[in-house]
Amino acid sequence: MEGIIRENTDEAQRQAEFIVKAHDALLVLERKAGRKLKACVVTFGCQMNARDSEKLRGILDRTGFILTEEELDADLIIYNTCTVRDNADQHVYGRLGRLTGLKKKKPELIVGLCGCMMQEETVVRKIRKSYPVVDLIFGTHNLFTFPELLARKLSGERRVTELWEGTDQIVENLPVKRKFRFKSGVNIMFGCDNFCSYCIVPYVRGRERSRLSRDILDEIRSLSDDGVKEIMLLGQNVNSYGRGLGNEMTFSQLLREVCAVPGIERVRFMTSHPKDLSDELIAAIAEEPKVCRHIHLPVQSGSTDVLRKMNRRYTRSDYLRLVEKIREADPDISITTDIIVGFPGETEEDFEKTVSLVKEVGFDSAFTFIYSKRTGTPAAKMENQIPEEIVHKRFERLLETVKETGEAACARFEGRTMNVLAEELNKEPGFVSGRISHNIMVHFPGDRDDIGKIIPVKLTDCRGFYYFGERVQ
């Protein structure tokens, strides 16, 4: 087990001490203001960012802030940023522009930025130069130092900036404020070693680091004791979990261990890279009834030539064989995917191969993206960048195909009775909304008392990608 990264409990304790200091500094500010102060965390991007934001909220809550969803009401605003695509960056810049006006009215307002955008040097330079509204900057590698940075800012430091190029630390024992009391994400690994040619993630999230299984399972047992029924195992590529841990445990073995935790009724995971999805994992998915009948398997392109340029390390045929194996093990499983349109050098023939693959697989749904050039990635330097007009036409055609295949796939459940985990009240009075194991949303009659319960519902009315249903009890 030499070289394995163990979770740093000493650092967790150190940060807990800074929470106390931040709390004391907050009390001083609240006495000056004559009221309790509020904090808001806004999340951009992926499930891992959402889990990070739960940690930020937990720290703010423990410090003594009242948490709010309304930015205009907040005294402290944190943007947890994403930089996978350029439009994510632009959303943040737009928000900061609006906050500049708000801060003129509320000069005591504290604005913080963290997450993947902050790991890009050019972005941070731009923030420092053009957005004086920002008071606090930190990145993905030192998110666990947020209590320390917050204490410094609340104690009067003008602008607090601390960015790390990387870390070998895993610090998970910090407060968490979950969005849902009955379900939770759990980080099983951090970073990515795949270096797809279009992707900035390995540069901003760092190299792969897996948590020890005992630490993961201890966290899940604690969540179960707290009433959590559904777990989402999170990693940039969960299929490669365990590398660097010797023979400690593979992802499929971990999945089975999580299913054995008493009280946990559903287990999901995200995201799977096709090149690492093993027969052992397919067997675990099929054999463990607690594993949800849904797998997100990004294909990105249906053209082997484009996949090679993307450095995806599988072919079109490899992907189709993998889908066949999955469906042989579980014919009813839902498969969703990610697809990029307009990758440099993509020909019309390449694009048609993507369209035909979507039809052949019959995805339940697909997240479709226009290629976004990210500075620092190999793809950004490639020749034959596709003209915007052509890309948008292809994108619209792909959306139509995904809509057709997705609606057909979703309709197969009509008339069946499925268990639904009720997640939230619907905007329509007298209804609640939740998901079946296949990750499809269902709206059905219910009230607040149903939230967090798993309820059998007959799916009576398919509305494309979601259902209305009737309770059967």
Instruction: Say which CATH number the domain at 306 has.
Output: 3.80.30.20
- 463: helix, coil or strand? coil
Residue 362 counted as domain residue: yes
- Last residue of one domain, picked from the residues 392, 411, 430: 411
Q: Going residue by residue through the chain, which has 473 residues, state the pLDDT in tens, using 9 for 90 and above.
A: 334 556 778 888 999 999 999 999 999 999 999 999 999 999 998 888 999 999 999 999 999 999 999 999 999 999 999 988 888 889 899 999 999 889 989 999 999 999 999 999 889 999 999 999 999 999 999 999 999 999 999 999 999 999 998 887 888 888 999 999 999 999 999 999 999 999 998 988 888 989 999 999 999 999 999 999 999 999 999 999 988 787 789 999 999 999 999 999 999 999 899 999 999 999 999 999 999 999 999 999 999 999 999 999 999 999 999 999 999 999 999 999 999 999 999 999 999 999 999 999 999 999 999 999 998 899 999 999 999 999 999 999 999 999 999 999 999 999 999 999 999 999 999 999 999 999 999 999 999 999 999 999 999 999 999 999 999 97
Residue 172 counted as domain residue: no
Residue 69 counted as domain residue: yes
Residue 245 counted as domain residue: yes
DSSP string covering 169-227:
-B---S----S-SSEEEEE-EE------TT--HHHHH-S-EEPPHHHHHHHHHHHHHTT
147 and 82 in a common domain: yes
CA distance 437 to 439: 5
Contact assessment for residue 391 and residue 339, using Cβ atoms and an 8 Å cutoff:
no
User: Could you give the number of structural domains in the chain?
Assistant: 3
Residue 323 counted as domain residue: yes
CATH number at residue 94: 3.40.50.12160
Domain residues for the domain of 272 are 183-411
258 and 135 in a common domain: no
- 439: helix, coil or strand? coil
Contact assessment for residue 264 and residue 220, using Cβ atoms and an 8 Å cutoff:
yes
Tokens of 472: 């059967």
Residue 28 counted as domain residue: yes
141 and 89 in a common domain: yes
H/E stretch holding 461 reads: strand 454-462
pTM: 0.91
Strand partners, 424: 433
Contact assessment for residue 186 and residue 223, using Cβ atoms and an 8 Å cutoff:
yes
- Last residue of one domain, picked from the residues 375, 394, 411: 411
Tokens of 180: 């849902």
410: Cβ contacts below 8 Å, ≥ 6 apart = 364, 365, 440, 462, 464, 465, 466, 467
460 and 371 in a common domain: no
CA distance 351 to 330: 29
